[in-house]
Amino acid sequence: MERTFAVIKPDAVRRNITGKILDRIEAAGFSIVGMKRILLTKEQAMGFYYVHRERPFYDELCSYMASGPIVVLALEKEDAIAGWRSLMGATNPADAAEGTIRREFGLSLGENSVHGSDSPESAAFEIPYFFNCLELV
């Protein structure tokens, strides 16, 4: 079993499609082992996206992630990282394959509804950024 980290982003929470995304996650065989709805400060978002600090989109991304509530998730299943990346689809919804979450729900490159760990190293940083060991079941 492998764990990965996922976020339902502010644009999706604002549009009340959290349940639809959670349904897709569970239908794909993931176990949700941690989940909470939170509101990040910009500073917390900056800490989370620290690896992108040199990129031109960093400030805009952090402001967006602090613009409204998000749902953070720890997911588990065999090959969870690759499976979640596949279910999410390409970063740009216009490039995402049919049947993926970003293709169905994403509004734009910036408002693409979900985030996911891209490697075991990312998951190892991202899960404990939001969850302590007592919050994972």
The two three-digit tokens of residue 83, written as one number: 């499976």
Number of H helices, E strands in the chain: 7, 4
Specify whether 52 is catalytic.
no
Kindly name the residue from 72, 115, 116, 131 that is annotated as catalytic.
115
Amino acid at 93: P
**In this structure, what DSSP letter does residue 28 have?**
T
Alpha-carbon distance 70 to 114, whole Å?
Answer: 10
Interacting residues of 122 by C-beta distance below 8 A, sequence separation 6+: 5
Alpha-carbon distance 129 to 36, whole Å?
Answer: 13
Query: Which residues are known to be catalytic?
Result: 115
